[in-house]
Amino acid sequence: MRASKYFISSLKEAPSDAEIVSHKLMMRAGLIKKLSAGIYNYMPMGLRVIRKIENIIREEMNRAGAIELSMPVVQPAELWQETGRFDKMGDELLRLKDRHQRDFVLQPTSEEVITDIVRQEIRSYRQLPKNLYQIQTKFRDERRPRFGVMRGREFTMKDAYSFHTNFDDLKREYQNMFDAYSRIFTRLGLEFRAVAADTGAIGGTGSHEFHVIAETGEDAIAYNPDSAYAANVELAEAVAPATTRPTASAALTKVHTPGAKTIEQLAAFLKIDASQTIKSVIVDGDAGVPVLLLLRGDHELNEVKAGKLAGVFSPLRFASPATIRDAFGAEPGSIGPIDFQGKVYIDRSAAVLADAVIGANENDYHYTGANIGRDFPEPEVADIRNVVAGDPSPDGQGTLAICRGIEVGHIFQLRTKYSEAMNCKFIAEDGKEQIMEMGCYGVGVTRIMGAAIEQNFDDKGIIWPVSIAPFEVVICPMGWSRSEEVRKQCEQLYNALQAAGIDVVLDDRDERPGAMFADWELIGVPHRVVIGDRGLKEGVMEYQGRRDAEATKVAVGEIEAFVK
């Protein structure tokens, strides 16, 4: 690329609404341009970065066996009504009407449409598993769009959806995606951490987020420096270990329930009817093993009012807000067991926990007939708080540390939440119809652009990882219009690098060196070669890496190898 023919639009000052460094630098370097709150033009320089991020994601998704397709941004409301999300998603879902007054939504994610495709196209177990993905525009009417493209209203997401004949196969694919995500963020050149996470509005059971570690991150992450334990504090506050271990009274019946992981399996051991009046919660036991909590009785969840909280049933503290929300069908913020902070409350005065089945904090055992107050001491509500550095790690090994992160990816085991609601079935090997198991896997493409900058900048500007830099090398001539020899050498190097497949920009704008250097440092090009008559007389060019304090003289014939 020749700079004179390209579109470069750097600004001296960042606009006043830019709060964090990546937003400021992206605006100043002319990568994005604001159109409306949370809605940005991706300018040519920024689009180059986005395309590189997309390509890395696409290559790794393809390598992992996923198949690309594209679904419409505008989607009919009927599908969203089938799953109930048309109403449940609240104000984040942008709804619109066409000329016939029919309802549509702008996709914030695409579970409904992909499930609709699969239920029509896939009939037999022989066609499964499948993992389908798109890299597509999303719209979420965020309450507080900010930080430029990091929390935009319109943004680009890679979203993948997998379909399976059974849970084990979903778990296999989940791990496959976990590994693919690790490769993606490694190739993007970012320092990241995978953490256990809440499942949010998307729902499901297991989930992990991938975070780019940065001080300005909106999320706090609790992790154990000495083990693999890491969780979003949203979740970690619910998994914080109890200060007092509940002790069960002798009145309880302990039942051996080997290997039981689902409501159905456990109900079979306990000889109770799982389909009737039982509400279940899967909780993490002390060993980090999922333990099932079953609540018996016809109680309505809206009996549990945040203001009237009397106690917290200890084992519930190991459940994530989303798990509980899914089990009880209550959204955070509604009257229910979860408040805006994602804290979990249970009203002990209602008969909610009387005669419940609970995990025994011991693998493969459960208690039946549990009653808080009688069988367990009542923990204080104040027990629930955000995890802080130095708290004991839930895996029992040492203590937790806290860092901040930017959520750039999120993977979920959806199980049958959508396939059941939308009747997405297949014919199994035995000829019978079964509901498909589903997973979904998101990456915030445009958010990554901001997150990469939050991790890599200095007082001069952006420092791109080479893999996503808009240009890898910039050639800066000293006296473009003055010196034929400089022009000739610049052209030669430019052609050689282009031929070698390197993204090179030749700054032929005839700018003063100071202005020229400042532009490319702001834009963050990782390698710079300066070519001037003085150096050429000595047979050298000057190379400077974006993080280098000084330039290095390199013999003319060796410069190519230097920037490759």
Nearest residue to Mg ion on Cβ basis: 410
- Token pair in block for residue 521: 């440092």
Q: How far is the CB of 158 from Mg ion (least distance, A)?
A: 13
Query: Between residues 366 and 410, which has the closer beta carbon with respect to Mg ion?
Result: 410
Tell me the window of 60-68, 126-134, 149-157, 358-366 that interacts with ligand ATP (CB under 6 A).
149-157
Site string for ligand ATP, 74-113 (x = CB under 6 A): -----------------------------------x----
Residue found by looking up tokens 């009817």 in the block: 273
Cα separations (Å) of 494 from 255, 297, 468, 504? 75, 75, 20, 7
Query: Between residues 76 and 200, which has the closer beta carbon with respect to Mg ion?
Result: 200
One-letter-per-residue 3-state SS of 47-63: HHHHHHHHHHHHHHHHH
Q: How far is the CB of 94 from ligand ATP (least distance, A)?
A: 12
Q: Which does 157 bind (CB under 5 to 8 A by kind): Mg ion, ligand ATP, none?
A: ligand ATP
Q: Provide the angle, in degrees to the nearest 10, between the axes of the packed helices 44-63 and 167-187.
A: 140
Told to check if 129 binds ligand ATP by CB under 6 A, we report no
- Per the CB < 8 A criterion, the answer to whether 184 and 66 are in contact is no
One-letter-per-residue 3-state SS of 271-314: CCCCCCCCEEEEEECCCCCEEEEEECCCCCHHHCCHHHCCECCH
Q: Which does 28 bind (CB under 5 to 8 A by kind): Mg ion, ligand ATP, none?
A: none
Q: Apex CA 401: angle with CA 396 and CA 406, to 5°? A: 120
Site string for ligand ATP, 370-409 (x = CB under 6 A): -------------------------------------xxx
Q: Site residues for ligand ATP, window 29-68 (CB under 6 A)?
A: none
Determine the residue type at 481: S
Q: Phi then psi for 133, rounded to 5 degrees?
A: -140, 160
Told to check if 155 binds ligand ATP by CB under 6 A, we report yes
Q: Is 437 helix (H, G, I), strand (E, B) or coil?
A: strand
Q: How far is the CB of 408 from ligand ATP (least distance, A)?
A: 5
- Token pair in block for residue 71: 């679904």
- Per the CB < 8 A criterion, the answer to whether 391 and 328 are in contact is no
Q: Which does 408 bind (CB under 5 to 8 A by kind): Mg ion, ligand ATP, none?
A: ligand ATP
Nearest residue to ligand ATP on Cβ basis: 444
Query: Between residues 88 and 460, which has the closer beta carbon with respect to Mg ion?
Result: 88
Told to check if 311 binds ligand ATP by CB under 6 A, we report no
Q: Which does 321 bind (CB under 5 to 8 A by kind): ligand ATP, Mg ion, none?
A: none
CA 264 to chain centre: 31
Tell me the window of 364-372, 403-411, 429-437, 515-523 that interacts with Mg ion (CB under 5 A).
403-411
Q: How far is the CB of 447 from ligand ATP (least distance, A)?
A: 4
Query: Between residues 196 and 530, which has the closer beta carbon with respect to Mg ion?
Result: 196
Taking CB under 6 A as the criterion, the residue among 48, 151, 164, 279 binding ligand ATP is 151
Site string for ligand ATP, 223-262 (x = CB under 6 A): ----------------------------------------
Told to check if 164 binds ligand ATP by CB under 6 A, we report no
Quote the CA–CA distance of 475 and 45 in Å, as a whole number.
17
Query: Between residues 107 and 489, which has the closer beta carbon with respect to ligand ATP?
Result: 107
Taking CB under 6 A as the criterion, the residue among 59, 82, 103, 142 binding ligand ATP is 142
Residue found by looking up tokens 């808009």 in the block: 470
CA 520 to chain centre: 31
Told to check if 410 binds Mg ion by CB under 5 A, we report yes
Quote the CA–CA distance of 279 and 269 in Å, as a whole number.
16
Q: Which helix (H) or strand (E) holds 515?
A: helix 513-523
Query: Between residues 142 and 303, which has the closer beta carbon with respect to ligand ATP?
Result: 142
Q: How far is the CB of 229 from ligand ATP (least distance, A)?
A: 21
- Per the CB < 8 A criterion, the answer to whether 445 and 50 are in contact is yes
- Per the CB < 8 A criterion, the answer to whether 113 and 72 are in contact is yes
Q: How far is the CB of 8 from ligand ATP (least distance, A)?
A: 25
Query: Between residues 348 and 447, which has the closer beta carbon with respect to ligand ATP?
Result: 447
Q: How far is the CB of 270 from ligand ATP (least distance, A)?
A: 35
Told to check if 158 binds Mg ion by CB under 5 A, we report no
Quote the CA–CA distance of 121 and 543 in Å, as a whole number.
56
Q: Site residues for ligand ATP, window 190-209 (CB under 6 A)?
A: 200, 202
Q: Which helix (H) or strand (E) holds 467?
A: none
Q: Which does 403 bind (CB under 5 to 8 A by kind): ligand ATP, Mg ion, none?
A: none
Beta strand extents in 296-400 (DSSP E only): 356-359, 365-370
Listing DSSP states for 218-269 in one string gives SEEEEE-TTSS-EEEHHHHHHHPPPSS-----TTSEEEE-TT--SHHHHHHH
- Residue 392: asked if its preceding bond is cis (omega within 30°), the reply is no
- Per the CB < 8 A criterion, the answer to whether 83 and 422 are in contact is yes
Told to check if 447 binds ligand ATP by CB under 6 A, we report yes
Query: Between residues 204 and 526, which has the closer beta carbon with respect to ligand ATP?
Result: 204
Taking CB under 6 A as the criterion, the residue among 30, 203, 217, 442 binding ligand ATP is 442
Q: Apex CA 97: angle with CA 95 and CA 102, to 5°? A: 115
What is the contact surface with Mg ion in residues (CB under 5 A)? 407, 410
User: Which residues are near ligand ATP by CB under 6 A?
Assistant: 109, 140, 142, 151-152, 155, 157, 200, 202, 407-410, 442, 444, 446-447
